[in-house]
Amino acid sequence: MSSINRRDFGIAVVATMLLPVSMARAEDTAAKADGVAVHIDNFVFEPAQLNVKVGTTVTWTNRDDIPHTVVCAGKFRSKTMDTDGSFSFTFTDPGEYKYFCSLHPHMTGSVKVG
């Protein structure tokens, strides 16, 4: 059976008290940012379909070892993103935005803005 000394007990108590505070701050930051993340991994946009509100910023991040793009004809076009590269777009008008990777056209996704 292990015993806990006073120093370890104090650290555990402080950590337990601070955890809810740090979690609340993280949730606050996420709510204020009003952004959504899409990851590109294994030639797939994840999530492939999004439903967001007008004014939402979506950020695509490439986690693959090869370059990708994000293109929505006539609406937006990213530069070629290497590994860990990202592209953001803020949706200011309602509608459905279908997008794809111009380097790998089988990679598709959509954002519905309402």
64: CATH: 2.60.40.420
The token pair that represents 1 in the structure block: 């059976």
Of 14, 17, 13, 56, the closest CA to residue 38 belongs to 56
pTM, two decimal places: 0.71
Please state the domain count of the chain: 2
Structure tokens at 85: 């590269």
pLDDT reported for residue 41:
97
Domain limits at 23?
Answer: 1-33
Q: Over the stretch 26-76, which tens digit does the pLDDT of each residue have?
A: 443 333 347 999 999 999 999 999 999 999 999 999 999 999 999 999 999
Residue 15 has pLDDT above 80, yes or no: no
13/51 same-domain check: no
Domain co-membership, 67 together with 96:
yes
Decide if 113 contacts 91 (C-beta within 8 A): yes
Which two tokens mark 84? 């860990």
Task: Tell whether 9 and 53 lie within a shared domain.
Answer: no
Residues 29 and 51 in one domain: no
